[in-house]
Amino acid sequence: MVNKAQMGIDAIILILVAVYFGIDLQQRQNPLNQLLRNSKAHTEILSKSQFQKASLDSKSSNFQIPNDDAKNQQAFQTQKNNIQLQSSGTVKVVLVDDNNGSRHQKFILQLQNGLTVLVAHNIDLNPHIDGLQKGDTVGFYEEYEYSEKGGLIHWITHAQQ
């Protein structure tokens, strides 16, 4: 009987520790949960099949990821800076990481409106996107800066929990 009582106490302690640290196993099942919850501090990479599945799932629940491509097009045409944009695009080129000063992972992203932007993802403030490759879809909510070649998207966020 002592063993059963001890096991019961151990189980309760384990559950309390899990609740204290906020372990949520269902959160890991949906690849868009983290993107939608912390979009300013997180970049989500989806393979084409995952992106299509997420799009189908979102249609069934009448959910849409906002797309600021028209706003981006206008910012490019009028040469505006410091414009907050939310969108997604396809990775066209993965560049070498910039490790001088604050470190940045760099890649070129083609938006749905056809514009290409240089993405400078600050890996001192946010995790490095491992396995990023041409053809991946990247969603973002960040700041746009004009350049003649299309623009720059850079991660201005601070690490959030």
Find the CATH number of the domain harbouring 60. Answer: 2.40.50
- Spans in the chain with pLDDT lower than 70: 1-5, 7-8, 11, 14-69, 72, 155-161
**Tally of CB atoms within 10 A around 129:** 18
Query: How buried is 50 (Cβ within 10 angstroms: 0-12 exposed, 13-18 middle, 19+ buried)?
Result: middle
Residue 24 forms part of a structural domain = no
Residue ranges making up the domain that contains 75: 31-154
Residue 3 forms part of a structural domain = no
Percent of the chain with pLDDT over 90: 16
Give per-residue pLDDT as tens, 48-95. 444 433 333 333 333 344 566 677 677 777 888 888 888 888 999 999
Residue 15 forms part of a structural domain = no
Residue 10 forms part of a structural domain = no
Residue 23 forms part of a structural domain = no
Q: How far is CA 47 from CA 97, 119, 128, 132, 136, in A?
A: 21, 18, 17, 10, 6
Residue 87 forms part of a structural domain = yes
Whether the Cβ atoms of residue 72 and residue 153 lie closer than 8 Å to each other: no
Whether the Cβ atoms of residue 109 and residue 92 lie closer than 8 Å to each other: yes
Residue 82 forms part of a structural domain = yes
What is the count of structural domains for the chain?
Answer: 1
Residue 13 forms part of a structural domain = no
